[in-house]
Amino acid sequence: MRILIIEDDKDTLQYIKTRLEERCFAVDTAETGEGGLRLAKANDYDLILLDHGLPGKDGMEVCREIRTQPELSRKGTPIIMISVTNEVDYKVAALDHGADDYVTKPFFFDELYARIQAVLRRPPVKETGRFELDDLSLDVASQKVVRGEKSVYLTKKEFALLEYLLRNKGHVVSRGAITEHAWDMNIDSLSNTIEMHILNLRKKLELPKKKKLIYSVPGRGYKIDVER
């Protein structure tokens, strides 16, 4: 079993690494969120131990990126978050962001180890690659988008944009995040290109008598959701 530990506290990092290696785990380490994300992309881990308090991107942000960046979320690697915070709201947020379990510092290694074993015993969560909202569905494998009974034809970029919005359903995504995650390297330099694709998506998806799904949030970005 290969484990990635993302933790900036050198003593904690070394302690967990040593104890896991004693139990025959292969262990890689990163001391920043960015470094951890790089390793998570490059290698296939059976589990990621993720500290919350990290310099730069914090653990919650890293967790969210692992669950929303297509190349990472596809791997479905389990994540155990580690934090000094013991508040329920925080734990709920961690689970909401895609963590599989949560350990509060300070912890006994045996507790962490038991949680690691429990998470590793779960059958791997294979991404279904299917997203649904209202009567809209998007299927990654077949590249099909359906609203109600009607199949909707999207260009490659519109599809990538819609998939990214749906992965972040209910959350505002910035134009920067869209450029980073949903666009390939050949993005047009035209600054209005994201707006243009959003507009096209709306035209194709928000047909008469259908609920509005895509919202602009001035100064922040876009969100896909059903208004309640």
Binding flag, residue 51, Ca ion (CB under 5 A):
yes
Q: How many CB atoms lie within 10 A of CB 129?
A: 14
Nearest distance in Å: CB 57, Ca ion:
12
Binding flag, residue 61, Ca ion (CB under 5 A):
no
Stretch 199-228 residues interacting with Ca ion (CB under 5 A): none
**Facing residues of 87 across strands?**
none
What secondary structure does DSSP assign to 164-213, as a single string?
HHHHTTTS-B-HHHHHHHT--TT--S-TTHHHHHHHHHHHHHS-TTSPP-
Residue with smallest beta-carbon separation from Ca ion: 53
Residue 100 CA to residue 176 CA, distance in Å, equals: 28
Nearer to Ca ion, 9 or 206 (CB): 9
Among 51-59, 87-95, 146-154, 192-200, which window interacts with Ca ion (CB under 5 A)? 51-59
Among 4-12, 103-111, 131-139, 210-218, which window interacts with Ca ion (CB under 5 A)? 4-12
Binding flag, residue 35, Ca ion (CB under 5 A):
no
Nearer to Ca ion, 62 or 201 (CB): 62
Query: Both tokens of residue 90?
Result: 């925080």
8 Å CB contact between 35 and 65: no
User: Of residues 19, 31, 34, 53, which one binds Ca ion by CB under 5 A?
Assistant: 53
Nearer to Ca ion, 20 or 136 (CB): 20
Q: In what order do the strands lie in the sheet with 136-139?
A: 130-133, 136-139, 144-147, 150-152
Nearest in space to 61 (alpha carbons), one of 29, 100, 28, 32: 32
Nearest distance in Å: CB 22, Ca ion:
23
Binding flag, residue 8, Ca ion (CB under 5 A):
yes
Nearest distance in Å: CB 12, Ca ion:
7
Nearer to Ca ion, 83 or 168 (CB): 83
8 Å CB contact between 97 and 118: no
Binding residues for Ca ion, per CB under 5 A? Answer: 8-9, 51, 53
